Structure 1
Amino acid sequence: MSDLIVVADSHLCGEDPATEDFLRFLDREGPSAEVVVLAGDIFDLWVAREALELPFHRAVVDGLARLRDRGVRVFYVQGNRDYFVADRYRDGPFHQVAEESLLLQHGGRTIHIAHGDQVNLKDRQYLLWRRLSRSALVRHLFSALPEGIAGRLSLDLERRFRTTNQAFRLEFPQQQAERYAREVFSQGADTIVLGHFHQQRLMEFPEGRLFVLPGWREDRAYLRLDGSGQARFMQVQE
């Protein structure tokens, strides 16, 4: 069994050197893995509608398709800046798009992968926004909007993300993460991988381990699990 790679929070946008770095990362590291999981927020904002697709979106999707063509299983877990990805890409380049979380077996481990934006139950403002913005009604209304209006709404969403609930982003929610881990472990997982918080952490529990991914954008870092289930944080070498 080959490796499993998990990466999150590259927040790619427009004419961005990070996009080229990310594509090189996929081309260099991806083929060495059996599974690649993108744990959300790969773009700074991804409203996955054809009319709103920009060249840098297409370049990354094409890079992921090349990985899949080489036999790598590619999964996506939607983050807080991802909309309609599951609707548009159910048939490729991803083997699966998870709207909440993903459960995989690898190297004898049962691995729960989520973006992490639903860990902190005290962040009620965001959780309410998340439910509303992903409701069936909002999906229907957004799909019916003219392209120009949909584009302006997407920009408004991006501005909202930059200013909403800053207090909850300044400090890692340790107690909330412990509660979340206990709930997930009770359902049979022994390894948890989260993104969202942009800081590398390893939390040990009697039932297993919780890995918090560093933000790829800041650190060019990711998590690699080998065929025996051993996990380690890695950094891209130029």
Structure 2
Amino acid sequence: MSTLFIADLHLCEEEPAITAGFLRFLAGRARNADALYILGDLFEAWIGDDNLTPLHQTIARAIHALVSSGVPCYFIHGNRDFLVGRRFSRESGMILLPEVQRLNLYGRELLIMHGDTLCTDDTGYQAFRKKVHNPWIQRLFLALPLALRRRIAARMRANSQAANSQKSVGIMDVNPGAVVAVMEQYQVQWLIHGHTHRPAIHTLQANGKPAWRAVLGAWHQEGSLIEVTPQNTELQFFPFQV
């Protein structure tokens, strides 16, 4: 019995090794899980469900095959793919979850999220996030011609990379107070998230008791997952190729 969590694959045509590693994972390790949770940034960018590229179609088919094998797959939007919608959900078989989800796994209460909302010290990003999550702005963007959306997305990625290069390491990490606040809001002792690309399991205090924050790694040179079993919660790494 085990449930698997992954995040921050940032799949794109320019990184075929990561895509190959993910496809191998879906056809292999993931088939033995009780469920798979993808906690955002599965894709490097997502400009609408109508932009179904060969990569997107390949990933949709592979996830659908996993779901058809009996392993449900759940998805929380990340800051790169927050526009993944119902059409891709249907084609892939993924179940879309809200940005914060409480789970009971094997008798243990835990909270899952992408993690960007915890980075409250980065006020510039949080202001930008508030704008792009406005439903009206999203509708206007999705109504634009696909070619124009591609140009806008490329410009936004370039601007984001330039802005991040000027920020301190600490400002782009989670705020400890925000972590405790959300864990106490949902009354949990375990939190699993991605986004920061700083894999680790941290100990802290929440709800007046010991608590743990498990952070997923990004899929750069190797895969990263968190496995939750009735006995343990473990951060694991594995090669793209076996």
1:219 to 2:217 alignment: no
1:7–1:173 distance in 2 versus 1, CA, 3 Å: same
Instruction: Indicate the residue corresponding to 1:133 in structure 2.
Output: 132
**Counterpart selection for 2:179 from 178, 181, 198:** 181
State whether residues 216 and 222 of structure 1, in contact with CA within 8 Å, keep that contact through their aligned partners in structure 2: no
Structure 2 gap ranges (5+): none
Number of corresponding residues: 234
TM-score by length of 2: 0.88
Instruction: Indicate the residue corresponding to 1:79 in structure 2.
Output: 78
SS of equivalent to 1:79? coil
State whether residues 48 and 83 of structure 1, in contact with CA within 8 Å, keep that contact through their aligned partners in structure 2: no
CA distance, structure 1, for counterparts of residue 32 and residue 166 of structure 2: 39
CA distance, structure 2, for counterparts of residue 157 and residue 99 of structure 1: 24
* Equivalent AA in structure 1 for residue 180 of structure 2: R
Deviations 1:143-172 (A, max 9, x none): 221222122222223223322233546237
- 1:117, distance to aligned residue in structure 2 (A): 0.8
* Equivalent AA in structure 1 for residue 149 of structure 2: A
Instruction: Indicate the residue corresponding to 1:96 in structure 2.
Output: 95
* Equivalent AA in structure 2 for residue 208 of structure 1: A
* Equivalent AA in structure 2 for residue 35 of structure 1: A
Instruction: Indicate the residue corresponding to 2:56 in structure 1.
Output: 57
1:91–1:188 distance in 2 versus 1, CA, 3 Å: farther
1:143–1:173 distance in 2 versus 1, CA, 3 Å: closer
1:97–1:135 distance in 2 versus 1, CA, 3 Å: same
CA distance, structure 1, for counterparts of residue 154 and residue 216 of structure 2: 27
State whether residues 3 and 35 of structure 2, in contact with CA within 8 Å, keep that contact through their aligned partners in structure 1: yes
Instruction: Indicate the residue corresponding to 2:238 in structure 1.
Output: 236
State whether residues 13 and 44 of structure 1, in contact with CA within 8 Å, keep that contact through their aligned partners in structure 2: yes
- Taking the TM superposition and a 5 Å limit, the aligned residue runs for 1:162-181 are 162-168=161-167, 170-171=169-170, 176=175, 178-181=176-179
Instruction: Indicate the residue corresponding to 2:38 in structure 1.
Output: 38
SS of equivalent to 1:216? coil
* Equivalent AA in structure 2 for residue 235 of structure 1: F
Percent identity, aligned pairs only, is 23
1:21 to 2:43 alignment: no
SS of equivalent to 2:37? strand
Deviations 1:1-29 (A, max 9, x none): x2111111111111422111111011111
State whether residues 120 and 174 of structure 2, in contact with CA within 8 Å, keep that contact through their aligned partners in structure 1: no
Deviations 1:33-87 (A, max 9, x none): 011011111111122321x221111111211111111111111111110132144
1:64–1:169 distance in 2 versus 1, CA, 3 Å: farther
State whether residues 172 and 197 of structure 1, in contact with CA within 8 Å, keep that contact through their aligned partners in structure 2: no
* Equivalent AA in structure 1 for residue 162 of structure 2: T
State whether residues 119 and 171 of structure 2, in contact with CA within 8 Å, keep that contact through their aligned partners in structure 1: no
SS of equivalent to 2:160? helix
State whether residues 4 and 224 of structure 1, in contact with CA within 8 Å, keep that contact through their aligned partners in structure 2: yes
Instruction: Indicate the residue corresponding to 1:147 in structure 2.
Output: 146
TM-score by length of 1: 0.89
Instruction: Indicate the residue corresponding to 1:120 in structure 2.
Output: 119
SS of equivalent to 1:137? helix
RMSD, matched Cα: 2.1
CA distance, structure 1, for counterparts of residue 168 and residue 101 of structure 2: 24
1:172–1:209 distance in 2 versus 1, CA, 3 Å: farther
